[in-house]
Structure 1
Amino acid sequence: MHKKIDIFQLAKLQALLFFPIGILSGFIYSIGGLIYDLLKTGSVNLGSFLAFFAIIGMPVLFYVIGFILGIVEGFMFNTFLVRFLDKIYKIKF
């Protein structure tokens, strides 16, 4: 009998791994937008205000993308890799 990966558990794990990367990316993006506005215009305007929404938006976006990728990866592992390893290398999971 083949051992299969629980797709939902993998999706949750992948989403939790992507979330901190989203926080870091959102922070870098918002600080970069602030510095750009200060250097170009000399003041903070609506563009830099909207860039700070990346602190909230990017972690959520990365979480959702990580969850979807976890589902795809788990499905691909369960359908293709397990059969490939069994037939070619005689490895049982």
Structure 2
Amino acid sequence: MFHVIYEWWVAKENIDNFIDVWRKATNRIHNTVDGAKGSFMIRSCNDSNKVVTIAKWRSRYAWEKFWLDADPKEMRQMRKIGERVSVEVFEELGDETV
């Protein structure tokens, strides 16, 4: 598995809208893009403006192909609501979650 971690800065007054747009984008991508395994979102307990979304992909190739072929309107909307601070990619070495 392959994970992409996006760090966002989202103003407090925009968080509910950001969550809604992220949920729609995640569900659309997961349901329509080969290799997309979904995503989850967390918010910092120390800085309520800091949000992290973690997307799971079958492979780096699937993620890269997705971004070569598409720029979903929902992702553009997310970038209008919040500032994407960073993107980092990780290869999964193990998973002991249930």
Give your verdict on TM over 0.5.
Answer: no
The structure with the greater share of residues assigned to strand is 2
Larger radius of gyration: 1
Length-normalised TM-score, structure 2:
0.29
Which has a greater percent of helix? 1
Q: Calculate the TM-score normalised by the size of structure 1.
A: 0.30
